[in-house]
Structure 1
């Protein structure tokens, strides 16, 4: 995780007139006090390093949660973690590059301008994945944001019997409904082809039967 000072420096460096007096800090426990609004940055590019086994991985599914308070002009953030696929112990906080931090904080500032101050002509939010789009499917039980129910890719926290991980990404899994649908389509296609190829044989058989 980048030092909080880096986040604070970039936040004030790119702040608009509206957010110049705002402060940025971190939080651990969920904020339930009235007056706080949420912004969640999904699919951020980040690095993770397990201190237990030394495993390292890159993910484009990192999630950062922000809580904004207009009256106190405060933003509290939490970098949500992922578990190591080998240890599955504690959630590991992500390390995010300054380039991606800048994108995330610009999105935060534009969200404050739009959702807190009601500005209209606000730029659209930018992707924080660093241009990476290909990735493995999502292992929800290794994702802290999924556990909290705020991950964009959250489906179920049910852990399968086999903990398999794909080679091309951090998260791996299967979609049974898609697989069954594909099998059904293939079977239907085979039946159609067989009927088409044997249509003359069926026609002759019917003629002989009714002759």
Structure 2
């Protein structure tokens, strides 16, 4: 899973100076608490979920992704930590928090937005204001369900009703 994120990152960040960047999934990071000298960026996208109990699948266009990133100018090493917020099945009473599955296209969009943010915050570039939209697969026409959204429970969701 992280290999998709990393390959998108390496493709998009390769033109940035001589710095080396790495990306890891970290479900412990929280909003508004990045470590000193770290930056934070939150973005949303479409993802698919599957309940580990009943196997029901669903899509959500309101999946929050939190990025913490840091560039060490002394070592030319950049680190990115990613937290993908989970959702619960609304059918199961003992539902677990399920990991989102992003399409390659949406990982590409998220990483493109992230790299733009890195260029602004770490390299002080002025890039203007344009963002690619996420790709929605299938029909998505339901309300946002706060009770089943981990980002809402953590106070991170910007999509809450």
For normalisation by structure 1, the TM-score amounts to 0.65
The SS at the match of 2:40 is strand
Deviations 1:100-150 (A, max 9, x none): 111110000001111222211356222224388953221111001111111
Work out whether residues 22 and 80 of structure 2, in 8 Å CA contact, stay in contact via their aligned partners in 1: yes
Change (3 A) 1:66 1:13: same
Which has the larger Rg? Answer: 1
Are 1:30 and 2:35 an aligned pair?
A: no
Q: Which has the higher contact order (CA 8 A, sep 6+)?
A: 2
Aligned to 1:65: 66
Q: 2:88 aligns with which of 83, 91, 102?
A: 83
- Asked if residue 14 in structure 1 is aligned to residue 16 in structure 2, the reply is no
CA shift digits 1:171-195 (9 cap, x unpaired): xxxxxxxxxxxxxxxxxxxxxxxxx
Query: Could you list the runs of 5+ residues in structure 1 that have no partner in the other structure?
Result: 156-211
Identify the match of residue 127 of structure 2 among 106, 121, 140.
121
- Report the counterpart of residue 111 of structure 1 in structure 2: 117
Displacement after TM superposition at 1:54 (Å): 1.0
Instruction: Give the Cα separation in 1 of the matches to 2:52 and 2:143.
Output: 24
Query: Does the 8 Å CA contact 1:60/1:132 hold for their aligned counterparts?
Result: no
Q: Please identify runs of 4+ aligned residues in structure 1 that moved more than 3 A.
A: 129-134
- Say if 2:53 is the partner of 1:52: yes
Greater strand content: 2
Q: Are 1:60 and 1:135, in contact at CA under 8 Å, matched by a contact in 2?
A: no
Partner of 1:100: 106
The answer on whether the counterparts of 2:60 and 2:140 sit within 8 Å (CA) in structure 1 is: no
- Note if 1:139 corresponds to 2:145: yes
CA distance in 2, matches of 1:133, 1:37: 35
Q: CA 1:146–1:129 in structure 2 vs 1: closer, same or farther (change >3 Å)?
A: farther
- Structure 1 residue 26, shift from structure 2 partner: 1.2
Instruction: Specify the alignment match of 1:41 in structure 2.
Output: 43
CA–CA separation in structure 1 for the residues paired with 2:135 and 2:40:
20
What secondary structure does 1:14 align onto? helix
Q: How many positions carry a matched residue from both structures?
A: 152
